[in-house]
Structure 1
Amino acid sequence: MGRRGERPLKGSASNWNLSPEPYTCTGNFQDDFFEIWRRLSDGSIPQPIVRPRRHPPFMEDEDLKPSCHGEEEDCAISPDTYHVVDKREFFKPNIQFELDGDDTKHAKRTSVKIIHVKGWTITNDVIAVLQRCVLDKLSTLNLWNAGLTEETFNKVTEFIQATPTVHTIAIEGNAIPDSEPFADLMGKSIKHLSLRNNEITDAGAKKIGEALGSPHRVPPDLENLNLAFNRISDEGAIAIANGLRMNRSLVSLSLASNRISDEGAKSLADCLNTFVLSHEEVVARRKMMSHRVVIPRTASSQGSKRGARSGSNRVLQADKNRLGTREKSKAGDKPTKKYDKPKKDSSKTPPKTPSTTVRAKSNKSSGRGRLLDTGDTASSDFNDQSHPLLSRGIEILEGKICMPGCNTLLSLNLARNRIGSDGLKCLLTSIKRQESYVESEDLAYVTPGLLKLSLNKNVVPHDDELYLELFHLMRSKNPLKNDIIVE
């Protein structure tokens, strides 16, 4: 021990957690991470290295690209397209980051856009330091083989929820077999989510299906979901298909390299076109319609006579007050009589809303059934529905309430599964129905439906008649006309 009054040596264990003043982040991610780690850590865990993510030089600098001279037709890429890293530094835990753009190259503040953690176990201390750094422009978080547990996963979820700019998450190679809480990541701001190789079973797929959409909750804004290389069977595929019934935001779904057979493929095919609402969905729809905020009808809209009279009386009384005030202010004019009625101003009459016109067109164009009324069509929020159960395309077919399927899904990857001819036939039927709805210009189907379908390495061979028919059908729907859509 040192003498009394002697200061501890710099870098010793007694110097940890010495924070005489609260630290204010400077905006430089590397410096802020080092300083916050020095103040929070107890020295038992080595500090991870924070460094920029390196790219090949030809991707970063245009001057390093090879140039052709003379009559040479082919240019060889320079072999110096790699970075040499010391092995002692290479195997140490490191946090790689990418900056926001060129605007931060010469500034003291480095706005981090992407964070990568790969190949080492992330701890609560690392997450706590990240929470205190300034990451107001962070958009992507990639955790590959980071050894997440249920505790650290909850910490990561809290960090993502506290950073609303994050819209892309890739958590791959992090199996949490007991709870499988991956559905907690499907928040309102998340657009792209990759959960590959996490050993997700049917129990985890059921939670993901409920988070995708249900009759009792607003579906998330998720656009891309990757569930490849997991352990999802028919039961999990059915749960995901039930979530797609109430989802109109998902564009791309990958279920490649799982254990899905004909039963799961049939459920996924059924949710792509018109389906009958269940009793639970009908009850939930009626509750949503009863709790909607309806704008009071004006005198010109088609409402009750009492509402029209009360609305016109209020307008008339307000005009009387304004007219009386204007007449009194004029010197020498006689005051207006008590029962003089103002002239009707046609400019105050609210115009007809476009929703009424759209409803008339939809009733004429859709000859498949009778459309159901969803409440006040003059409401301004009618076109911005928060739940698919309030969709305008819901109709009655043969005495049953039917709803348009998930026609927003454009890409479906079912490669390397166990799908046979029965599942292939159901997928072919659903895609044909989607195409017929689009060709009939049905307003309930404003998107083209499924455009890309991957079915390679399943039970059905590539020379099967059903496979060839589906191949040519999907190729005709390809907007690019140069790529093979069915693989």
Structure 2
Amino acid sequence: MSRVLQRMLPSLSKLQSLQFWQAGLTDQTVISFMNTTSLCSNLSSVTLEGNFLPKQSYHLLLSEDSVLTHLSLRNNQMGDEGARLIGSALSTTRSANKNLRSLNLSFNSIGDAGAKYIAQGLRYNRALLFLSLSNNWIGDAGAADLATILRDFALTHEEVVERRKLQLERAQLSLQSSFVLDSDRSPSDQLPSVPSSSSLSSSKGKKKETNKKAEKPAATKENPKLNKKSSDVKVSQSKGSKPGGKEKQPPLQEVPEVKSSTSLIEMEETINPLLDQSVQYKEGKLFLPGNTTLVSLNLAGNKITEKSLPLFLKLLQMQSEGGGGRGGGLLRLCLQRNSFPSDCKYYVKIKELIKLVDPLEKNNHEPTEEEGQKS
């Protein structure tokens, strides 16, 4: 199957979606498959369901250079170890998946530890929009980790150290770019010194100038080509006659390099949330703005109790109030079929808030499992 895919996929230039349902894939097949998908320019959606991989290689589909935008990994008996690898693929302090928009991890065996790993991956991921963790083993601890990461959260000691390293690297890059910029400007600034030195030399004796002026008409009458050659020599001498200066002017191609270095700084600030300028210092800790990119979270069919509901309620209330001036946030939250009654007051308030923003709640119906799986 691996060899068939390697030969078949590159020729399917218009292929957009691939589905593997109980296809008996192995870890080695997935590795080979990922090496081939890079040749499919339009492939954006992969469904790999009912394929248990002993080495939990599902995270390879979420690599940083992956072009997939939709990935479904339902019913793969994935445990907390697979969730850990996926969380690391979603984001770390140094890397993040930037293309995946939808991830379906429902009907697996992910517990509280796995939910914590997924929440860790959402700390710096600013691409994922839809996440489904329905029908797993997630309890209150895992739900609390997910709810906490969606609002302002405190940086750990390791993250503070990493933030300082990134700031130092940015400062060094800025200093290097300004140094290159100054070195590019200095030769051009020295160019006006050439005519100034010639004017100083000409001011030493006016007799020489009058003699040269007298000789010029004769030269043009006798041999105009000689006059052109002499003027060319003067121009060439004036370009290279800078006292103590460089012999050659640096190429103009170095200027775009300065722009690229400064643009790298700006790009790093926008991509890496650790360099977010809106970091706040309070209670002796640094607080980073939470993940407001995720708009849909499906936690239906887990083991969440009433204990975790106030966390989600507070999160939605903050979002409804504007989230401290920041846009974004959850538009859909599925919590049905958990370990709390449907008439729980917190759950009723959560549904009321979600109904105001969820486009699927316009008909006032309870989200079905099929809808939850799509998200």
TM-score normalised per structure 1: 0.57
Deviations 1:326-378 (A, max 9, x none): xx89xxxxx9xx9xxxxxxxxxxxxxxxxxxxxxxxxxxxxxxxxxxxxxxx9
Structure 1 match to 2:335: 455
SS at match of 2:321: helix
Looking at structure 2, the residues matched to 398 and 251 of structure 1 have their Cα atoms a distance apart, in angstroms, of 31
Aligned-residue offset at 1:297:
7.2
Does residue 415 of the first structure (1) align with residue 285 of the second (2)? no
Does residue 435 of the first structure (1) align with residue 313 of the second (2)? no
Structure 2 match to 1:200: 78
Which of 356, 363, 371 does residue 476 from structure 1 map onto? 356
Aligned pair count reads: 305
Aligned-residue offset at 1:417:
0.8
Aligned-residue offset at 1:322:
9.2
Structure 2 match to 1:141: 18
How does 1:263-342 map onto structure 2 within 5 Å?
A: 263-292=141-170, 293-294=173-174, 313-318=186-191
Identity across matched positions, percent: 35
Name the CA shift for 1:211/1:382 in 2 (closer, same or farther; >3 Å): same
CA contact (8 A) 1:195 1:227 kept: yes
Looking at structure 1, the residues matched to 265 and 366 of structure 2 have their Cα atoms a distance apart, in angstroms, of 38
SS at match of 2:297: strand
Structure 1 match to 2:109: 231
Structure 1 letter corresponding to 2:314 = T
Deviations 1:58-108 (A, max 9, x none): xxxxxxxxxxxxxxxxxxxxxxxxxxxxxxxxxxxxxxxxxxxxxxxxxxx
Name the CA shift for 1:141/1:283 in 2 (closer, same or farther; >3 Å): same
Deviations 1:30-75 (A, max 9, x none): xxxxxxxxxxxxxxxxxxxxxxxxxxxxxxxxxxxxxxxxxxxxxx
More helix per residue: 1 or 2? 2
TM-score normalised per structure 2: 0.72
SS at match of 1:384: helix
CA contact (8 A) 1:453 1:474 kept: yes
Which of 272, 286, 306 does residue 401 from structure 1 map onto? 286
Structure 2 match to 1:248: 126
CA contact (8 A) 2:153 2:290 kept: yes
CA contact (8 A) 1:139 1:165 kept: yes
Name the CA shift for 1:184/1:324 in 2 (closer, same or farther; >3 Å): farther
Looking at structure 2, the residues matched to 388 and 486 of structure 1 have their Cα atoms a distance apart, in angstroms, of 35
Aligned-residue offset at 1:389:
1.4
CA contact (8 A) 1:248 1:408 kept: yes
Name the CA shift for 1:486/1:423 in 2 (closer, same or farther; >3 Å): farther
Structure 1 letter corresponding to 2:128 = L
Name the CA shift for 1:416/1:153 in 2 (closer, same or farther; >3 Å): same
Deviations 1:241-268 (A, max 9, x none): 1111121111000001111111110000
Deviations 1:454-487 (A, max 9, x none): 1111112221101111111111233677245874
RMSD: 3.2
Looking at structure 2, the residues matched to 231 and 185 of structure 1 have their Cα atoms a distance apart, in angstroms, of 19
Name the CA shift for 1:240/1:232 in 2 (closer, same or farther; >3 Å): same
CA contact (8 A) 2:89 2:96 kept: no
Deviations 1:122-141 (A, max 9, x none): x234224325x512332222
Deviations 1:157-199 (A, max 9, x none): 22223434322111111112x2111001113312111101111
Name the CA shift for 1:136/1:289 in 2 (closer, same or farther; >3 Å): farther
SS at match of 1:253: strand
Deviations 1:210-254 (A, max 9, x none): 111112323342111000111111110011011111211110000
Question: Which fold has the larger relative contact order, with Cα–Cα distance below 8 Å and residues 6 or more apart in sequence?
Answer: 2
Structure possessing the higher radius of gyration over alpha carbons: 2
Q: Which runs of 5+ in 2 are unaligned?
A: 199-230, 233-237, 243-260, 368-375
Name the CA shift for 1:295/1:379 in 2 (closer, same or farther; >3 Å): farther
SS at match of 1:294: helix
CA contact (8 A) 1:248 1:406 kept: yes
Looking at structure 2, the residues matched to 480 and 152 of structure 1 have their Cα atoms a distance apart, in angstroms, of 38
CA contact (8 A) 1:228 1:255 kept: yes
Name the CA shift for 1:469/1:307 in 2 (closer, same or farther; >3 Å): same
* Stretch deviating more after TM superposition (199-208 or 161-170): 161-170
SS at match of 1:280: helix
Q: Which runs of 5+ in 1 are unaligned?
A: 1-122, 299-305, 330-334, 339-377
Structure 2 letter corresponding to 1:183 = H
Structure 2 letter corresponding to 1:156 = F
SS at match of 1:245: coil
Structure 2 letter corresponding to 1:413 = N
Name the CA shift for 1:153/1:316 in 2 (closer, same or farther; >3 Å): closer
Name the CA shift for 1:317/1:201 in 2 (closer, same or farther; >3 Å): same
Looking at structure 2, the residues matched to 130 and 428 of structure 1 have their Cα atoms a distance apart, in angstroms, of 50
Aligned-residue offset at 1:424:
1.3
CA contact (8 A) 1:228 1:258 kept: yes
Looking at structure 1, the residues matched to 87 and 33 of structure 2 have their Cα atoms a distance apart, in angstroms, of 21
SS at match of 2:286: strand
Looking at structure 2, the residues matched to 184 and 429 of structure 1 have their Cα atoms a distance apart, in angstroms, of 35
CA contact (8 A) 1:475 1:486 kept: no
Which of 295, 298, 311 does residue 426 from structure 1 map onto? 311
Looking at structure 2, the residues matched to 318 and 227 of structure 1 have their Cα atoms a distance apart, in angstroms, of 65
Name the CA shift for 1:159/1:319 in 2 (closer, same or farther; >3 Å): same
Name the CA shift for 1:273/1:484 in 2 (closer, same or farther; >3 Å): farther
Which of 384, 388, 412 does residue 267 from structure 2 map onto? 384
Name the CA shift for 1:136/1:321 in 2 (closer, same or farther; >3 Å): farther
Structure 1 match to 2:251: none
Looking at structure 1, the residues matched to 188 and 283 of structure 2 have their Cα atoms a distance apart, in angstroms, of 46
Structure 2 match to 1:183: 59
Name the CA shift for 1:261/1:144 in 2 (closer, same or farther; >3 Å): same
Structure 1 letter corresponding to 2:301 = R
Looking at structure 2, the residues matched to 235 and 264 of structure 1 have their Cα atoms a distance apart, in angstroms, of 7
Structure 2 match to 1:113: none
Name the CA shift for 1:124/1:478 in 2 (closer, same or farther; >3 Å): closer
Name the CA shift for 1:310/1:204 in 2 (closer, same or farther; >3 Å): closer
Name the CA shift for 1:475/1:162 in 2 (closer, same or farther; >3 Å): same
Looking at structure 2, the residues matched to 311 and 141 of structure 1 have their Cα atoms a distance apart, in angstroms, of 52
SS at match of 2:317: helix
